[in-house]
Amino acid sequence: VAVVGEKTFAVKRKWDKNRFEHQKKKRPAAISETESKIAISALKNIGLDIGIVKLIEGKVVGMRPYIDFIEFEKVLGKNVALTVAEYCEAWLK
C-alpha cells in the first residue's frame, strides 16, 4: 500500500503456494477502510507521511520510506508522483 498523507493506493501480488513466494505480476487491489487506516497509522508512527506499507491480512509486515512511482503508475494507471507533489505543495503552504 502506497501512502501519501491520508490517501492510499493499493496493489497486490498473488501468493504462489507451490513455490512459497509472491508471483511477480502485481494488480490493482481494493483495501478496506480499516486496512487503509492501519497503513496510514503505521507510517505516522515512524514519523512519515509518504511511503510503502506491506500488509498481509491486515497486519503490517514491512515499511519503507519511498514509493516506486513507475510501478504503481503502470499497475494502477494513476500518477502517484503527482499526488506526492500536490501533498508536498499543500504542506509547504
Of residues 15 and 68, more confidently modeled: 68
Neighbouring residues of 33: CB distance < 8 A, sequence distance ≥ 6: none
pLDDT in tens, 13-55: 776 667 666 667 788 999 999 999 999 999 999 999 999 999 9
Neighbours of 41 (CB within 10 A): 12
pLDDT of 84 above 80? yes
Percent of the chain with pLDDT over 70: 89
pLDDT for the residue 22: 64
**SS3 of 68, please?**
coil
DSSP 8-state code for residue 23: E
| Cα gap 92→27, rounded to integer Å | 33
Residue-averaged pLDDT of the chain = 91
Q: Is the pLDDT of residue 3 over 90?
A: yes
To which residue does cell 498481509 refer? 56
Q: Could you tell me the domains of the chain?
A: 2-92 (3.30.470.20)
